[in-house]
Structure 1
Amino acid sequence: MFQLAQIKRMVRVPPWLFGDTLNNAVADELNRKLANKVVLDVGLCIALFDIISLKDSYIFPGDGASHTHVTFRFIVFRPFMEEILEGTIKGASAEGIQVTLGFFDEIFIRKDSMMTDTHYDETEKTWVWNYQTDDANHQLFMDIVIEEKFTDTTPSNPNEKKKEEEKPQNVAPYVIYGSIVDDGLGMVSWWTTPEETEEMAEEMDASES
């Protein structure tokens, strides 16, 4: 899920950071520019891991900042093919399921990537897997985590509201599509004993408290 990506880049250090060491100033600039950003063919950048090398710094005419060629490694989120991830269902629609890892929400499981005999329940607004055993048919629901809702009490200008509605919707720069068609995938509770499920619930409660 997490990888170390080696990157080379020219880093600009502004004059007000000259009082710090070059290594610290470059590290601050790299984290400021890359952390929580998606880099093409690299992934979602999380944090700087280390700086491998710093070459000579230059100051160009008309710019008081220094410019340094840097080779560094960054921790990035970039799952590999067939990797198994564990997340929480954030939403569901007739098109599929959205899963969140907490720090990353753009994970989608489309309806054609679910188990056979799975359908969307319009009443419950969730997906259901009809699991057939020798003696009965079991409906296994893919439960959604209910989030707290709030009402914005700040007075708003009708003209500003209209402008907000006219703004184009943001397009996610990084999207992952998953699959739950194989055994062992889907809801964790489907493949664990009641004792294991209870133990996992206690661990989650302890981590949230």
Structure 2
Amino acid sequence: MFILSKFTDLLHLPPPTFAHPTATALEDQINEKYANKVVHNIGLCISLYDLSSVSEGMIGQDGGAHVNVEFRMIVFRPFKGEVLTGRISSATAAGVKVRTDFFDEVFVPAAALFEGSRFDGKEQVWIWRNDDQDFYMDKNEVIRFRVEGEVFVDQLPVPPHLKGEESSLHNKPPYAITVGFSSALLMCSQLWAN
């Protein structure tokens, strides 16, 4: 679920950061720039792991230092086939949206649900019929799911003529996970309590 990814970047340290140790100032700049952000084709950056190398800083016109840094980040990027735990956040006729403690863009398409599942539009819930018994996939139920794939969308700036308008290209999340259920993996607490 978590990997270490190596990055190289040219960071700017403004003059007020000179009062702190260089490593601390660089850590703060790296976490500010990368933490909780998606890097295209890498994953969701969580936090700085370590600094690998730091060049000598070159002073710029504003008096700040520009430093080449090589570092490793802890990145959330589950591998295909990995089993994760999450909670159902919503359901539509297209499928079920699942969230983990810190990641909301997990989607189970309707075709990946159990055989015999149907969507109840009035209740906005998927129902799985098994052995003449209905099992509801209610909001906030804990489930386990298997990662089937991932989707990265390059987030382009919104053109001025689209400001305020809805554009499907700009409403997609930068990183999403698609999943499939397995009958052995569904762990809805309400389901098995009955």
Give your verdict on TM over 0.5. Answer: yes
Deviation at 1:92, TM superposition (A): 0.4
Equivalent pair of 1:142/1:187 in contact (CA under 8 Å):
no
Provide the secondary structure at the position in 2 that maps to 1:123: coil
In the alignment, what sits opposite 1:7? 7
Spell out the pairing of 1:1-209 with structure 2 (5 A cutoff).
1-60=1-60, 62-132=61-131, 137-145=132-140, 166-168=164-166, 170-180=171-181, 182-189=182-189, 194=193
Provide the secondary structure at the position in 2 that maps to 1:26: helix
**1 or 2 for the larger relative contact order (CA 8 Å, sep ≥6)?**
2
Structure 2 length-normalised TM? 0.80
In the alignment, what sits opposite 1:206? none
Equivalent pair of 2:116/2:129 in contact (CA under 8 Å):
yes
- Please, which runs of 5 or more residues in structure 2 have no aligned partner? 142-162
- Please, which runs of 5 or more residues in structure 1 have no aligned partner? 147-164, 198-209
- Deviation string for 1:32-52 (max 9, x for gaps)? 111111011211111111111
Structure 1 length-normalised TM? 0.74
Amino acid in the other structure paired with 1:50: D
Amino acid in the other structure paired with 2:119: Y
Provide the secondary structure at the position in 1 that maps to 2:189: helix
- Deviation string for 1:50-105 (max 9, x for gaps)? 11111221123x34221111111111111110111100000001111110112111
Which of the pair is proportionally richer in helix?
1
- Deviation string for 1:90-135 (max 9, x for gaps)? 0001111110112111111010111111110123210111113xxx
Segment drifting more, 49-58 vs 103-112:
49-58
Which of the pair is proportionally richer in strand?
2
In the alignment, what sits opposite 1:203? none
Larger radius of gyration: 1
